[in-house]
Amino acid sequence: MENLDFDSALTRLEEIVEQLESGQLCLEDSLAVFEEGVKIALYCQKELKKTDGKVQRLLKKLNGDLDVTDIEI
């Protein structure tokens, strides 16, 4: 779950919903994938909110280090 990126997570969520909607799983499996689905949905929602809308400029300093500063454009 932790090493899942958003795209894979979303794809997995779609799979799970389809699986559940097919109604072919037994109750135990349904509950298991449901639980996974809920976790993934929460993760996706968290990812969606993980943004701040900043604009920054990336510069390479003379010593080769990278330097990031917020800018207003």
Partner 1 sequence: MQEYITVSILNSYISGLIDRDELLQEFWLKGELSGFRHYQQSGHSYFSLKDADSTISCVMFKSRIQKMRFRPEDGMEVLLRGYVSVYARQGKYQVYVEDMQPFGTGSLFLYLEKLKSRLTQEGYFDLDRKKDIPRMVNRVGVVTSQDGAALQDILRVIKLRHPGAAVILAHSSVQGSDAPRELAQGVQMLNDYGLADVIIVARGGGSLEDLMAFNSEELVQAIYDSAIPVISGVGHEVDVTLCDLAADLRAATPTQAAQFAVPDYGALEKSLTNLNARLIRCMQRQLNNRTERLDRNLMKKVWREPQLLIEKQNDRLMLLEQGMGTAMLNKYKESSHRFELAAQALDKVSPLKILNRGYAILTRNGTIVSKIAEVVEGDDMDIDLIDGRLRVLIQGKEKINRWRI
Half-sphere exposure of 34 (CA within 13 A, CB side): 10
Residues 6 or more apart in contact with residue 63 via CB below 8 angstroms = none
What does the alpha-carbon distance between residue 22 and residue 6 come to, in Å, rounded to a whole number? 24
Site string for partner 1, 15-54 (x = CB under 8 A): -xx--xx-x---x--xx--x--xx--x--xx-xxxxxxxx
Could you say which of 1, 5, 32, 62 contacts partner 1 (CB under 8 A)? 5
Residues that bind partner 1 (CB under 8 A): 5-7, 10, 13-14, 16-17, 20-21, 23, 27, 30-31, 34, 37-38, 41, 44-45, 47-60, 66, 68, 71, 73
